[in-house]
Amino acid sequence: MNVSQFLKKLTVSSAVVTAALLTGTVAAAPLKIGVVPGIFADSVEVAAQEAKKQGLDVEVIEFTDWATPNVALDAGDIDLNYYQNSNYLANAVRDKGFKLVSVQPGILSYLGLYSLKHSSLADLPEGAKVAIASDAVNVGRGLRLLEHAGLIKLRPDTGLLGTPADIVANPKNLKFVEVEGPQLARATQDVDLAQGFPYFILASKAFDATKALSLTSYEDDSWAIQFVAHSDKAADPRIAQFLQVYKTSPAVRAAIDQFYQGEPKLYRLTWLKN
C-alpha cells in the first residue's frame, strides 16, 4: 500500500468513527462501581438495570474487604465506590493520601449492639466480652454507642478516633475484642455483646438484625454510606446520571426497604426529607 492509499484509508476510517459517534453506535465505556456485599451491592445492581434503560451501561464490582475499593478507585480501576461513610473516607484520605471525594450520601444504616446470650444490656455480667470493629473510625463509633447506651464513659475530649484507652469509666469491667467489621456478625456468637452492622447481619442471615439492644438512630448524615469518586472524575456526567437514577427509582427504594425487612429503625434514606 502506497502513502496515498494509506491516507485515503485513514480518512475513510476516521469518517466512519465520527459518524458512529454522531449516531450513538459507539457505546460509552461502562461506569464501574465498587460495592461490598449486602444492600449496597443489591441496590446499585437494581439502579444499574434502571440506568441501562436510559442508555447508561453500569458494571458492578463486588469487594469483600474495606480497603481495596478505595485503592481501586484511587488507581482509576473503578469510577465510583459505595461502601463507606464520610468519616471513614476522611480518615482514609488523611492516612493514604487518596484523591477521593464524596459525591452523594446514600443509605444511613444504623450501627447496633447485639447479643445472642443476653436479652438486655442490664443482663451483661461483670467482665463481659464485647466485640468491636478493628478499624479506627468504627472503633470510635462503637465506643460512642456503648457510651450512649450507658455502659461506659469516654473522656469529654474524645474525638471520632476514640480507642479503649479513652474510656474513663467502665462499671461492668467490659473486655474488648477487636474484629474486622464484616466479620462481626459471625463473631457475635462467641462474645457477650457485639457491635453490629445491620446490613452485614441481614446479608449473612446470622441472626435477627432487628433485635438490637441499642442503635445509633441519633447519628447525623456524615455516617451515611457515600458514593465516592476520584476528585478528577467527580464531574463525570455518567456519575450524575447514575446518581439521579439511584435517588429517584422506585425499584431501588423498594429493594432497600425489602432488604431492611421494612424496619425504618434500621436505616434512613438521606436524600429524602424527614
Strand partners, 81: 34, 228
Give dist(CA 72, CA 253) in Å, integer: 28
pTM of the model: 0.81
pLDDT tens by residue, 6-28: 334 444 444 443 444 444 434 57
Choice among 104-108, 235-239, 269-273 with the minimum mean pLDDT: 269-273
Give dist(CA 121, CA 113) in Å, integer: 9
pLDDT tens by residue, 182-214: 899 999 999 999 999 998 899 889 999 999 999
pLDDT tens by residue, 61-114: 999 888 999 999 999 999 999 999 999 999 999 999 999 999 999 999 999 999
Residues 118, 217 contacting (CB under 8 angstroms): no
Q: Is a pLDDT exceeding 70 seen at residue 228?
A: yes
Average pLDDT over residues 43-62: 97
The pLDDT assigned to 117 comes to: 97
Grid-cell match 458512529, residue found: 20
Pick the closest to residue 239 from 33, 101, 83 (CA basis): 33
